[in-house]
Structure 1
Amino acid sequence: MADKWKHTALLVIDMQKDFIHEDGLIRVDGGKSIVPSVMKAVEVARHRGILVVWVVREHDPLGRDVELFRRHLYSDGKVGPTSKGCVGAELVDGLVIREGDYKLVKTRFSAFFATHLHSFLHSAGITSLVIIGVQTPNCIRQSVFDAVALDYQPVTVIIDATAAATPDIHAAKYQAKQYHHEVLYPSMAPTGQGIHFGKYSWNNKNDPCFEANTGY
């Protein structure tokens, strides 16, 4: 099964406590609701032998590597969002980096901007991407734009494993059809519901990506 998926990677973006927890410093309101779907997507990826890449923000405690518009959050001795070594930079409970996974630190919206992600994926033979996490109009969108520009194909976003501040903002980014990527809706699966890595659903036998002997 691993050979079938050896050219695919799952990018899990910014599923950290400062973005997801109720008391997170820059909480994304819709983030908490997608944690079960993100966990399921990671489970499916691992079962299929898909490379899991954890993309996280870990900032200098003084905010020297943060966007200018956020730098005030690190001033006057404040512990800014996702500061390296702080609790807010940790993954939310239930999400764990395991042996064989890869962790990538970014300091901007896109997972590709000023990082070695593209060279790492290229050296690993990755040509297609599945993207999940937060938040839709910022880090998800920018990462998708860059992935498309770098000729990853297909680039798939799992809509029930991504989130924004509000459902309307989340939905609008997909309805705009700006990405040139696949958007997969569990509610539209012909049979049942599930986390998607194919045209329909991981538990739909009509999906060419479905593994009949395992249910994945």
Structure 2
Amino acid sequence: MDDHTRPEFSRSALLTIDLQRDFLDIPGTRAVLPAVRRLTAAFRAAGRPVVHVVRLYLPDGSNADLCRRASPARGAVPGAAGSQLADGLGGELDHERLLAGQFQEFGPGEHAMYKPRWSAFYGTRLREHLRGAGVTTVVVAGCNYPNCPRSTLVDATERDFRTVAVRDAISGWTGAADRELAGMGIACLPAADVLAGLGDS
């Protein structure tokens, strides 16, 4: 890390990605939940923003990615219990509000938002939301590295956020992820280092 990419935890926000009940059986996702819960609690205690990013799939598949429209097993249907966040994260999701592109507030600085594609930045107001809160550093945790966390991490760097991938709080993590992300200036850290950095900020 250098002066342009080093995390600024005093100006950071946590993004949790797709940690909804229907996705908890994706390999490794239940295993990362304790780390994500610790991160969420620490960011709340530090008064730093938290955004729970979710997917919602209409029953007819019309808002799904093209590669998923033929699949009957998408899950996260608005109104269904499986679309809700995993226990210990945020509150109950307001599907209508989220699908309308609005942020749903759970508490001071803590929100949920819906993303229509892999990246939390694609077709959303996330960048504006974070910049409005004075955020310079995005910390990403959740499900499932090869897809949505990776897309979100790359898009965060493209929007000139200092970016952190929490390797033991992202399911599907591989050794290759450490190598490929480092080349884009993304810090790959364990949750313990993020918690320490947040405590020192």
Same fold (TM over 0.5): yes
SS of 1:141's partner is helix
Report if aligned partners of 1:16, 1:89 keep a CA contact under 8 Å in 2: yes
- CA RMSD, 1 decimal: 2.1
The runs of 5 or more residues in structure 2 that have no matched partner are 1-7, 92-105
Structure 1 residues 5 and 180: CA distance shift in structure 2, 3 A:
closer
| Structure 2 residue aligned with 1:95 | 89
Deviation at 1:95, TM superposition (A): 1.8
Matched residues, percent identical?
30
SS of 1:196's partner is helix
How far, CA to CA, are the matches of 1:128 and 1:93 in structure 2?
Answer: 26
Rg larger for: 1
The runs of 5 or more residues in structure 1 that have no matched partner are 21-26, 186-193
Structure 1 residues 142 and 80: CA distance shift in structure 2, 3 A:
closer
Is residue 2:175 matched to residue 1:171? yes
Query: Where in structure 2 are the equivalents of 1:13-92 lying within 5 Å?
Result: 13-20=17-24, 27-74=25-72, 80-92=74-86
Query: Where in structure 2 are the equivalents of 1:148-167 lying within 5 Å?
Result: 148-153=157-162, 155-164=163-172
User: Of residues 177, 180, 185 in structure 1, which corresponds to 2:185?
Assistant: 180
User: Of residues 130, 143, 158 in structure 2, which corresponds to 1:121?
Assistant: 130
The residue type paired with residue 179 of structure 1 is M
The residue type paired with residue 34 of structure 1 is V
- Calculate the TM-score normalised by the size of structure 2: 0.80
Would you say how many aligned residue pairs link Structure 1 and Structure 2? 178
Deviation at 1:10, TM superposition (A): 0.5
Deviation at 1:6, TM superposition (A): 5.8
Deviation at 1:171, TM superposition (A): 2.7
How far, CA to CA, are the matches of 1:210 and 1:66 in structure 2?
Answer: 39
Higher relative contact order (CA 8 A, sep 6+): 2
- Calculate the TM-score normalised by the size of structure 1: 0.75
The residue type paired with residue 29 of structure 1 is P
Kindly provide the CA deviation profile for residues 49-89 of structure 1, in whole angstroms up to 9, marking residues without a partner as x. Answer: 11010100112221111011111224xxxx74111111221
Report if aligned partners of 1:40, 1:195 keep a CA contact under 8 Å in 2: no
